[in-house]
Amino acid sequence: MQQFFSMLFLIGLLFLLSILTGLLPFATPPMLIGQAIQQQAVDATGAANLVTSVVLGYRGIDTLGELSILFAASAAGGLVLGKTVRAKKAASENTGFILQAGTDLLFPLLLVAGLYIVLHGHLTPGGGFQGGVLLATAFFLPVLVRPGTSVSHKLLIVIEGLAGASFIAIGLLALYQGGEFLQPFLDKGLTGQLLSAGTLPLLYLAVGLKVGAELAGLLANLSTEQDGENDHVA
């Protein structure tokens, strides 16, 4: 009976959404704020990538909220999974020389790629979030390949906290200088250069480090089995 009503609801939803989307002005968007941003953004922020100027400039506080959501999710995840117990040294799970050597080789590559993406966020596609994920995987891969080792949680907590605090601190500094919260300051430089766009690259660096540290911690938390975990049937 419940299944029947659910199906009915779904068919209704499909019908409704199809009709609604048919009414939408597709491919001729009104773009009221979009157009205004396109005209002003390069002068206002100095970033060549308009998405970056929206993410860190026009909607900077959204990004702060997004960072906080990741932070809250990882804190809550830590609360759920409880005390982190050092992973059991499992000799049986030896992953082999080739995999280990490959990971060692991959580590610097991932690190460089991640940092590149973070630092070029204001010029090319990419930025703190995408680069941060790469950084996290760079630090997480060794843990996956060598089951005995673990990431230093102390270090991660410090990086995470300081990076997040510096994002807010940059925002508050602008406030202190007589501007508004999160207003870009510093010299905007020449659009298209690496050192341009004022504080935006700094903000993205903070985002990248925070996301990287947070996700590395989260992944390590998810992957380490705890003592007395009975569901693992080896």
Partner 1 sequence: MEQFFVFLLVIMMLLGGLAAMLLKDLLAATAATSVVSLSLTAIFVLMRAPDVAMTEAVVGAGLSALILALGLRRLGIWQLDMPVKSRQKKAGDQ
Partner 2 sequence: MLPEVPAMLLAGAVGLVVIGLGGLVLSRNLYRLLLALAIAEAGANLLLILAGFDSYAVAPIVTDFSTSALPAMVDPVPQAMVLTAIVIGVGVQALALAMIIRIKQAYGTLDMAELKSKMEADLDKSLVMPGAALIKAERESDNG
Partner 3 sequence: MDNLLVLTVALPLLMAFLLPIVYRFSHFIAGLLGPIVLLFLIWLTFCAAYNLPAETTSFSIVIGGFLPPQGIVFYVDRMALLFAFAVPLVTLLMWPWKSNLDSEARPRQLSLLMVLVAASSGLALSGDLFNLYVFYELVAVASYGLVINSQMSASYVAAYRYLLLSAAGSVLALLGIAIIYFQTGTLNLAHLSLMAEKLDAPLGLSAFVMLLMGFGVKAELFPVNSWVPEVYLASSRRVAGLLAGLVSKLAVLIVLKTLLTMFNHTLAYDLLLILGVIGLVIGELSALKATDLPRMLSWSSIGQLGLVFIAFSVPGKTGMMAGIAIMLHHMLVKPALFLMAERWGQQLVDLKGAAKSSPLMAALFVVFALSLMGVPPLPGFWAKFLMLTGLAEVGSSLSMMALLVVLLMMVIEANYLFRVASLLYDRQARQQSSHGFINALTVSSMAAVLLAATVFIKPVSEALDVIATQASDQQAMIKITLGSKTGDQK
The residue ranges that bind partner 2 (CB under 8 A) are 3, 6-7, 9-10, 13-14, 17-18, 21-22, 24, 26-29, 31, 33-34, 37-39, 41-42, 48-51, 53-55, 58-59, 62-63, 65-66, 69-70, 72-74, 76-77, 80-81, 124-125, 129, 190-192, 218, 221-222, 229-231
- Secondary structure of residue 176 in the 3-state scheme: helix
- Secondary structure of residue 126 in the 3-state scheme: coil
**CB burial of residue 78 (10 Å; 0-12, 13-18, 19+):** middle
Q: d(Cα 81, Cα 214) in Å, to the nearest integer?
A: 15
Sign of the alpha-carbon torsion through 123, 124, 129, 133: negative
Name residues whose C-beta falls within 8 Å of residue 221's C-beta, 6 or more positions apart in sequence: 74, 77, 78, 81, 84
Q: How far is the CB of 180 from partner 3 (least distance, A)?
A: 4
Which amino acid appears at position 26 of this protein?
A: F
Residue placing its CB nearer to partner 3 in the complex, 25 or 96: 25
Q: Which residues bind partner 3 (CB under 8 A)?
A: 16-17, 19-20, 23-26, 29-34, 36-37, 40, 44, 57-62, 64-66, 68-69, 71-73, 75-76, 78-80, 82-84, 154, 157-158, 160-162, 164-165, 168-169, 171-172, 174-175, 179-184
Positions that interact with partner 1 (CB under 8 A): 49, 51-52, 125-127, 129-130, 133-134, 136-137, 215, 218-219, 222-223, 225, 229, 231-234
